[in-house]
Amino acid sequence: MVHTTKPIPAATTSARSRLRNPQLNRIAQAFGSCRRNTAAEAGKMRVTVYAALLSVVCAAPLPAVAASRLATHLDAIAARPAYAHTQFGLAVYDLRTRSMLYARNAGRFFVAASTTKLLTEGTTLATLGPGYRFRTIVYRTGPLDAAGILHGDLVLVASGDPNLSGRLRPDGTLAFENEDHSYDGSPDTKAVPGDPLAALRDLAAQIAARGVKQITGNVVVDDSLYPAGTPESGTGVVISPIMVNDNIVDLTVTPAARPGDPVVVSVSPQTPYATFVNKATTGAKGTRRTIIVPDGEAAPDGSRTVTITGSIPVDSQPILYAYDVPSPRRFAEFAFAQTLAAAGVSVAKSSTELAMNHDALKPFYTDSNAIATHISPPLSEEVKVTLKVSDNLHAATMPYLWAPTHDLQKGFGVERSFLQRGGLDTSAAVQNGGLGGDAFFTPSFMVAYLAYVRAQPFFPVLYASLPVLGVGTLFNIQNGSPAAGKVHAKTGTWGTGDLLNDRSMISGKGLAGYMTTASGREIAFCFYLNNLAGPPDETAPRAAGQILGELATATYLYAK
């Protein structure tokens, strides 16, 4: 029998030097990507979050669950001998009857990983609204004379817009790839087509159109909206209110025709901020990729010289590596000055990195001094990017936007109020950031949260932004299953290495979201598994992803 489903309807209408070795740096691409970064000098292993899930807990206890065919199948999967050391936390909740169909360790804390992004994006939509647009404005600090000379500085005031990048499309949508460029070191990793400096070029063109031909002062980026400079805990990209090309320079490394010859490195975007010196070589067939991209040496003007070392085997496909810029502000200043020059606006180059005096600049931020403005696509598009590709940087920045003061602690106070308005018990949730590097939820909390947001006016946006089992960013998970295309859920992966046993440890893997089952039940579900040991390559997290896919398929078939 062929079962068809309809989408779940809304209830209302209303020092980061990194060894790039895919056998160690990326332990998988299952339910979203996961990458491990290994510090070359210490050999410490850290796994990146590429997947995502969110959770919340009910204030009242959920009813007991009777034995069922669903329970028989889910219990059988969790009881396999191979998972003897692994903990499962599972919850299946009927959205119509408001009853729990199945629960296993549903009241215990589990590593949430990127399922946290469900909470982050839900709170952002509730606080800012799906139609919110970022406005990045450039101001002048002096007069513009008849000859086109601006006597003063140009100041780009960062608004927290995460998409000053090639993601921008003429139709107002944002592009993304199944494997995002921040999850580098894999043949599947791609940067979106287009110009990474498109937004800056548009601002530069506006300034040139205003008759500006020369700037006597400096090109400055004011990044004081919220604190900048801390690497997010997943991929290590630096958090900042200014985000040009996701604060990344894309380096595509292609092996030469013969072992021993230098590799070919292409750079995008090319700016004066970073000069790359290629000392990487082509390795023999079948050898490991060991590309190292350090932060590089800083010059007095803040630019960097980065020496790429290591090797890539002769039989490898071209591989994209991400250079995470140490100073997003200085990167943006160099790139903006470059686009201004290309637009015919002469800019004097500073020989030293400028100290920022934000208080001295603020009096110039008036409508009369505004000289260019970039308006982002609506927030609904940004939510799609963050949830589909599990973008860590984008998610990490959202909590800073929740409170008017842009204070992280007060931002989480806003989220707590949002959750408690839904009757959710926030003591069953632990969250310290937007992406999920240090977050723990109970499965009961998660399904309660999913039921709550389903009744919110923004739910259609959130639902449309979720990954789909077997499709798109989850193309390699249960794509032949009866549930493929019918499960809309966020994924999450977190883990580390095990040098003692030459293996990996998936400390947290999750899948949480919605489905309409084969029998027509509309459910919310949350599946977590913690502490699954596996081989030190992509097969471990992929296997963990397939386990969750099996649970989802069994739920689709047997939740009657």
pLDDT in tens, 209-258: 999 999 999 999 999 999 999 999 888 999 999 999 999 999 999 999 99
Report residue 375 as tokens. 């308006």
Q: Say which residue the tokens 């991929």 belong to.
A: 235
Over residues 529-543, the pLDDT tens digits come to 999 988 776 666 677
Which among 56-70, 445-459, 460-474, 528-542 has the top mean pLDDT?
A: 445-459
Task: Judge whether 428 lies within some domain.
Answer: no
Q: Which residues constitute the domain of residue 70?
A: 24-128+385-392+435-558
- 106 and 169 together in one domain: no
CATH of the domain at 487: 3.40.710.10
Over range 511-539, report the average pLDDT.
90
Task: Judge whether 414 lies within some domain.
Answer: no
- 446 and 320 together in one domain: no
The DSSP bridge partners found for residue 29 are: 33
State the total domains in the chain.
2
Task: Judge whether 212 lies within some domain.
Answer: yes
Q: Is 35:185 a contact under the CB 8 Å cutoff?
A: yes
- 61 and 186 together in one domain: no
Task: Judge whether 1 lies within some domain.
Answer: no
The pLDDT value given to residue 351 = 63
Task: Judge whether 85 lies within some domain.
Answer: yes
The percentage of residues in the chain with a pLDDT greater than 90, rounded to a whole number, is 74
- 366 and 326 together in one domain: yes
- 124 and 140 together in one domain: no
The pLDDT value given to residue 534 = 81
- 104 and 159 together in one domain: no
- 88 and 189 together in one domain: no
Please state whether 121 falls in left (phi above 0), alpha (psi between -120 and 50) or beta.
alpha
- 107 and 212 together in one domain: no
HEC sequence for 506-543: EEEEEEEEEEECCCCCEEEEEEEEECEEECCCCHHHHH
Residue 540 one-letter amino acid: A
Task: Judge whether 257 lies within some domain.
Answer: yes
